[in-house]
Amino acid sequence: MDAFFEILKFTLPSAVALFGVYMLFKTSLENLLELQHMNKSSEQTKEVLPLRLQAYERIILLLERITPNNLIVRLNDNGFNVVQFQNLLVQEIREEFNHNLSQQIYMSNEAWEITRKTKEEIIALINESAKDLNKEAPSIELSKKIFQNVLDSQNDLVSNNLQFIKSEVRQLF
Protein backbone atom coordinates (compact mmCIF):
# COMPACT_ATOMS: atom_id res chain seq x y z
CA MET A 1 0.00 0.00 0.00
CA ASP A 2 2.89 2.37 0.74
CA ALA A 3 4.29 1.66 -2.71
CA PHE A 4 0.97 2.64 -4.26
CA PHE A 5 1.04 6.01 -2.48
CA GLU A 6 4.68 6.54 -3.45
CA ILE A 7 3.82 5.93 -7.12
CA LEU A 8 0.74 8.13 -6.82
CA LYS A 9 2.88 10.92 -5.30
CA PHE A 10 4.94 11.10 -8.48
CA THR A 11 2.37 10.28 -11.16
CA LEU A 12 -0.43 12.55 -9.98
CA PRO A 13 1.59 15.81 -10.26
CA SER A 14 3.00 14.60 -13.58
CA ALA A 15 -0.51 13.86 -14.88
CA VAL A 16 -1.75 17.30 -13.77
CA ALA A 17 1.23 18.99 -15.45
CA LEU A 18 0.69 16.93 -18.62
CA PHE A 19 -3.01 17.86 -18.64
CA GLY A 20 -2.10 21.56 -18.26
CA VAL A 21 0.34 21.38 -21.17
CA TYR A 22 -2.32 19.59 -23.25
CA MET A 23 -4.90 22.30 -22.53
CA LEU A 24 -2.36 25.04 -23.32
CA PHE A 25 -1.52 23.49 -26.69
CA LYS A 26 -5.18 22.82 -27.46
CA THR A 27 -6.14 26.44 -26.77
CA SER A 28 -3.19 27.74 -28.79
CA LEU A 29 -4.07 25.47 -31.72
CA GLU A 30 -7.74 26.54 -31.64
CA ASN A 31 -6.72 30.22 -31.61
CA LEU A 32 -4.34 29.65 -34.51
CA LEU A 33 -7.03 27.88 -36.55
CA GLU A 34 -9.53 30.65 -35.81
CA LEU A 35 -7.00 33.29 -36.88
CA GLN A 36 -6.33 31.42 -40.12
CA HIS A 37 -10.08 31.17 -40.77
CA MET A 38 -10.50 34.91 -40.17
CA ASN A 39 -7.61 35.69 -42.53
CA LYS A 40 -9.09 33.44 -45.20
CA SER A 41 -12.52 35.07 -44.79
CA SER A 42 -10.94 38.50 -45.01
CA GLU A 43 -9.11 37.57 -48.22
CA GLN A 44 -12.30 36.17 -49.73
CA THR A 45 -14.20 39.31 -48.80
CA LYS A 46 -11.56 41.43 -50.51
CA GLU A 47 -12.01 39.38 -53.68
CA VAL A 48 -15.79 38.99 -53.62
CA LEU A 49 -16.84 42.48 -52.51
CA PRO A 50 -15.83 44.18 -55.78
CA LEU A 51 -17.68 41.47 -57.73
CA ARG A 52 -20.79 41.95 -55.63
CA LEU A 53 -20.67 45.71 -56.08
CA GLN A 54 -20.24 45.29 -59.82
CA ALA A 55 -23.25 42.95 -59.89
CA TYR A 56 -25.41 45.48 -58.08
CA GLU A 57 -24.19 48.21 -60.44
CA ARG A 58 -25.15 46.09 -63.43
CA ILE A 59 -28.59 45.37 -62.02
CA ILE A 60 -29.18 49.07 -61.40
CA LEU A 61 -28.13 49.74 -64.97
CA LEU A 62 -30.49 46.99 -66.16
CA LEU A 63 -33.38 48.51 -64.24
CA GLU A 64 -32.65 51.97 -65.60
CA ARG A 65 -32.45 50.62 -69.14
CA ILE A 66 -35.76 48.74 -68.93
CA THR A 67 -37.68 51.58 -67.30
CA PRO A 68 -40.51 52.24 -69.78
CA ASN A 69 -39.58 55.90 -70.26
CA ASN A 70 -35.93 55.15 -71.03
CA LEU A 71 -36.77 52.12 -73.12
CA ILE A 72 -39.25 53.98 -75.32
CA VAL A 73 -36.99 56.97 -75.85
CA ARG A 74 -34.07 54.71 -76.75
CA LEU A 75 -35.94 52.41 -79.14
CA ASN A 76 -38.75 54.48 -80.64
CA ASP A 77 -38.82 54.48 -84.42
CA ASN A 78 -41.69 56.00 -86.39
CA GLY A 79 -41.39 53.21 -88.96
CA PHE A 80 -42.80 50.61 -86.56
CA ASN A 81 -46.42 49.74 -86.00
CA VAL A 82 -47.80 48.83 -82.57
CA VAL A 83 -47.10 45.09 -82.84
CA GLN A 84 -43.57 45.56 -84.13
CA PHE A 85 -42.77 48.09 -81.42
CA GLN A 86 -44.34 45.93 -78.73
CA ASN A 87 -42.24 42.97 -79.84
CA LEU A 88 -39.11 45.11 -79.96
CA LEU A 89 -39.68 46.46 -76.44
CA VAL A 90 -40.33 43.01 -74.96
CA GLN A 91 -37.38 41.50 -76.82
CA GLU A 92 -35.08 44.27 -75.59
CA ILE A 93 -36.17 43.77 -71.97
CA ARG A 94 -35.62 40.02 -72.18
CA GLU A 95 -32.20 40.43 -73.79
CA GLU A 96 -31.11 42.94 -71.17
CA PHE A 97 -32.30 40.64 -68.41
CA ASN A 98 -30.72 37.51 -69.92
CA HIS A 99 -27.47 39.38 -70.35
CA ASN A 100 -27.39 39.93 -66.58
CA LEU A 101 -28.58 36.52 -65.36
CA SER A 102 -25.21 35.63 -63.86
CA GLN A 103 -25.39 38.61 -61.49
CA GLN A 104 -27.83 36.72 -59.28
CA ILE A 105 -24.90 34.78 -57.83
CA TYR A 106 -23.71 37.90 -56.02
CA MET A 107 -27.11 39.21 -54.93
CA SER A 108 -29.51 38.16 -52.23
CA ASN A 109 -32.38 35.96 -53.33
CA GLU A 110 -34.82 38.68 -52.39
CA ALA A 111 -33.07 41.34 -54.50
CA TRP A 112 -32.92 39.02 -57.48
CA GLU A 113 -36.56 38.03 -57.14
CA ILE A 114 -37.65 41.67 -56.95
CA THR A 115 -35.61 42.39 -60.09
CA ARG A 116 -37.17 39.45 -61.92
CA LYS A 117 -40.68 40.53 -60.90
CA THR A 118 -39.99 44.10 -62.02
CA LYS A 119 -38.99 42.81 -65.44
CA GLU A 120 -42.19 40.76 -65.66
CA GLU A 121 -44.34 43.71 -64.54
CA ILE A 122 -42.84 45.97 -67.20
CA ILE A 123 -43.47 43.36 -69.89
CA ALA A 124 -47.04 42.99 -68.63
CA LEU A 125 -47.48 46.78 -68.75
CA ILE A 126 -46.29 46.87 -72.36
CA ASN A 127 -48.53 43.98 -73.38
CA GLU A 128 -51.52 45.42 -71.55
CA SER A 129 -50.95 48.79 -73.21
CA ALA A 130 -50.84 47.22 -76.67
CA LYS A 131 -53.89 45.03 -76.12
CA ASP A 132 -56.59 47.59 -77.00
CA LEU A 133 -54.70 49.42 -79.74
CA ASN A 134 -55.03 48.90 -83.47
CA LYS A 135 -52.16 46.56 -84.38
CA GLU A 136 -51.30 48.60 -87.49
CA ALA A 137 -51.32 51.97 -85.70
CA PRO A 138 -47.97 53.81 -85.55
CA SER A 139 -45.64 53.02 -82.66
CA ILE A 140 -46.22 56.46 -81.16
CA GLU A 141 -49.70 55.30 -80.13
CA LEU A 142 -48.21 52.49 -78.07
CA SER A 143 -45.69 54.90 -76.58
CA LYS A 144 -48.47 57.27 -75.51
CA LYS A 145 -50.50 54.41 -74.04
CA ILE A 146 -47.51 53.09 -72.06
CA PHE A 147 -46.73 56.57 -70.73
CA GLN A 148 -50.38 57.03 -69.76
CA ASN A 149 -50.48 53.65 -67.99
CA VAL A 150 -47.28 54.48 -66.11
CA LEU A 151 -48.80 57.78 -64.99
CA ASP A 152 -52.06 56.08 -63.98
CA SER A 153 -50.27 53.34 -62.08
CA GLN A 154 -49.99 53.95 -58.35
CA ASN A 155 -46.74 52.02 -57.92
CA ASP A 156 -43.49 52.96 -59.57
CA LEU A 157 -42.30 49.72 -61.10
CA VAL A 158 -38.59 50.44 -60.94
CA SER A 159 -37.91 52.96 -58.17
CA ASN A 160 -38.99 50.61 -55.37
CA ASN A 161 -36.59 47.98 -56.66
CA LEU A 162 -33.81 50.55 -56.97
CA GLN A 163 -34.35 51.67 -53.39
CA PHE A 164 -34.22 48.07 -52.15
CA ILE A 165 -30.99 47.36 -54.03
CA LYS A 166 -29.38 50.58 -52.82
CA SER A 167 -30.24 49.74 -49.21
CA GLU A 168 -28.83 46.25 -49.66
CA VAL A 169 -25.58 47.65 -51.06
CA ARG A 170 -25.29 50.02 -48.10
CA GLN A 171 -25.41 47.01 -45.78
CA LEU A 172 -22.20 45.71 -47.39
CA PHE A 173 -20.27 48.55 -45.77
Residue-number span of the structural domain to which 141 is assigned = 48-170
Kindly state whether residue 30 falls inside one of the protein's structural domains. no
Question: What's residue 42's pLDDT?
Answer: 65
Binned at pLDDT 50, 70 and 90, residue 85 comes out as very high
- Is 73 part of a structural domain of the chain? yes
Task: Judge whether residue 118 has pLDDT over 70.
Answer: yes
Mean pLDDT over all residues of the chain? 88
Centre a 10 Å sphere on the Cβ of residue 169 and count the other Cβ atoms it contains.
18
> What's the rounded Cα separation, in Å, for the pair 64 and 159?
9
Q: How far apart are the first and last CA of the chain?
A: 70
- Kindly state whether residue 153 falls inside one of the protein's structural domains: yes
Tell me the mean pLDDT in the region 92-121: 94
Domain assignment of residue 74, yes or no? yes
Number of compact structural domains in the chain: 1
- At 40-70, the pLDDT tens digits run 766 666 777 888 889 999 999 999 999 998 9
Report yes or no on 3 lying in a domain.
Answer: no
Helices (H) and strands (E) in the chain, counts: 6, 0
Residue 129 falls within a domain, yes or no? Answer: yes
Task: Flag whether 7 is in a domain.
Answer: no
Per-residue pLDDT tens for 137-161? 999 999 999 999 888 877 777 888 8
48/86: higher pLDDT: 86
Q: Residue 162 falls within a domain, yes or no? A: yes
